[in-house]
Amino acid sequence: MLSKILIGIVIILGLGGYFLYNKNIELNKLNSAFELRDAEQKQAIKSITENFEKQSAALSSLSEENAKIQGEMNRYLDIFRRHNLSKLAAAKPGLIEPKFNSATKEVFDGIEADSISISNLNK
């Protein structure tokens, strides 16, 4: 009788050990999968962080450039506010017209150059 109990205990311990061994193998596979996923997520977070830093630097640069352009625009608008150009053009047309004509030509030349460079980008 004692030998049957001992055999029963050995069989139960063997089955328990087999079950725990299989469970250990399954958990090792899951652990490997989780470690791989964790490494991929860390790489993705690193990439996102680097992109965010680049975008922040670009945005900062654009903001600074925008502030410069805004200041320049305000300076030009202030010139127009301080001077009555219609009155000045009527009083001294020879003084104002060449300046306006040259500035207008300069603007149109700039637009033409930009159009050409944009057209060349599409080729």
Q: Counting runs of H as helices and runs of E as strands, what totals does the chain give? A: 3, 0
Q: Are residues 96 and 123 in the same domain?
A: yes
Whether the per-residue pLDDT at 92 is higher than 80: the answer is no
Q: Same structural domain for residues 78 and 91?
A: no
Number of domains in the chain: 2
- Residues 110, 116: Cα–Cα separation, whole Å: 10
Q: What's the whole-number average pLDDT of the chain?
A: 88
Query: What confidence category does residue 77 fall into, taking pLDDT thresholds of 50, 70 and 90?
Result: confident
110 and 51 inside one domain: no
What is the domain extent for residue 121? 87-123
Same domain, 9 and 47: yes
What angle (nearest 5°) sits at the alpha carbon of residue 58, between those of residues 54 and 64?
A: 145
pLDDT at residue 27, as a whole number? 96
Q: Do residues 91 and 75 share a domain?
A: no
- pTM of the full structure: 0.48
Of 109, 90, 37, nearest to 45 by C-alpha is 37
